[in-house]
């Protein structure tokens, strides 16, 4: 049985409320579409699915929907291996899918999964660890710069690719003149960061990140160590100022990362963050949170993502789309 989780509150589903019905038509007798209205209902549905033992769980939405669904799945499955996961990209941000090279149209990918199940052919998968942040699970964590940028991105003017690009130009333009907008986005995080039990030498950071995928959006591969070890996550602790970081912009986009003189990077199994202030803003896969006191990031369970390549989908004109972030 194939289970498809659809986020009814996403912008794509608000614009086209018939998406769930189209997915159910594709599934037919091979699965069901679930559209939980709340996080509580999502957890209840995930627990019920655990008893049904689905062959595939598909998620339609962006990174935030994936992160929330994954968290509910891990809580429901416990220490048992998770079913293969299919990303039906339908959000404003699809950073995880873009990082892993999964760019198929949702309906094309879902039809291929159904056909595979109908004929009993196993799908090729791509293994990737997630990270555990407190009691939640995802693939990209960040505080400081990343969380500050997202706070501006989710402002009252709306959000989307055009706004993200405009904000980037605004940030770097403001940084050149030490303007208030750049100071707000590059507001430093004060605290202690320990990586695998070793305390980093700096007490102030532009931002601290942990991830098992490289991209953070718009093709920028900020977490360039994320692929180094399949059983650990990449760590990035940026300690240089905004003007010094301007020179790393093209290197980050190319996947070479920030220069070692301006940021500490490694791979790790655990990271502990102790903010000096009582509360710290941070993001998991584009969703914003606040923590009080110490926050631990550790390696989460392995996730097997269904890989469109390798024979799952026969290439036809117009079946693929450009990467979304």
| Full set of structural domains in the chain with CATH | 2-124 (3.40.50.10330), 138-301 (2.60.200.40)
**Which pLDDT tens digit goes with each residue over 78-126?**
999 999 999 998 877 789 999 998 888 999 999 999 998 888 888 889 9
Q: Say yes or no to pLDDT of 167 above 90.
A: no
Asked if the model's pLDDT at residue 171 lies above 90, the reply is no
CB 143, CB 32: distance < 8 Å: no
Q: What is the DSSP letter of 221?
A: -
Angle at 64 between CA 231 and CA 92, to 5 degrees: 115
% of the chain with per-residue pLDDT over 90: 63
CA dist., res. 15 & res. 230, Å (int)? 38
pTM comes to: 0.90
Contact 141, 211 (CB under 8 A): yes
């Amino acid at each position: 049985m194939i289970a498809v989780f659809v986020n009814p509150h996403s912008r794509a589903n608000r614009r086209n409320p018939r998406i769930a019905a189209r997915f159910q038509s594709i599934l037919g007798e091979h699965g069901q579409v679930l559209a939980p209205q709340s996080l509580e209902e999502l957890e209840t549905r995930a627990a019920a699915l655990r008893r049904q033992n689905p062959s595939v769980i598909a998620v339609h939405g962006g990174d935030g929907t994936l992160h929330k669904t994954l968290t509910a799945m891990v809580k429901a499955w416990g220490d048992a291996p998770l079913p293969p996961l299919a990303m039906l990209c339908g959000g404003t941000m699809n950073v995880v899918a873009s990082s892993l090279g999964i760019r198929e149209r949702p309906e094309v990918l879902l039809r291929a999964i159904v056909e595979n199940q109908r004929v009993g052919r196993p799908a090729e998968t791509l293994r990737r660890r997630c990270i555990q942040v407190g009691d939640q699970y995802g693939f990209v964590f960040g505080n400081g710069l990343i969380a500050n940028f997202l706070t501006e991105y989710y402002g009252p003017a709306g959000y989307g690719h055009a706004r993200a690009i405009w904000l980037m130009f605004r940030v770097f333009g403001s940084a050149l003149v030490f303007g208030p907008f750049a100071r707000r986005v590059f507001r430093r995080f004060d605290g202690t960061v320990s990586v695998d039990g070793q305390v980093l030498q700096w007490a102030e950071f532009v931002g601290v990140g942990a991830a098992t995928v490289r991209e953070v959006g718009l093709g920028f591969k900020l977490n360039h160590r994320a692929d180094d070890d399949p059983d650990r996550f990449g760590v990035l602790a940026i300690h240089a100022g905004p003007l010094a970081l301007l020179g790393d912009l093209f290197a980050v986009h190319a996947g070479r990362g920030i220069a070692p003189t301006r940021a500490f990077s490694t791979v790790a199994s655990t990271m502990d963050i102790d903010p000096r202030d009582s509360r710290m803003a941070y993001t998991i896969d584009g969703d914003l949170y606040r923590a009080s006191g110490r926050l631990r990031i550790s390696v989460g369970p392995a996730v097997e993502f269904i890989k469109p390549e390798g024979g799952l989908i026969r290439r036809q004109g117009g079946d693929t789309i450009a990467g979304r972030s």
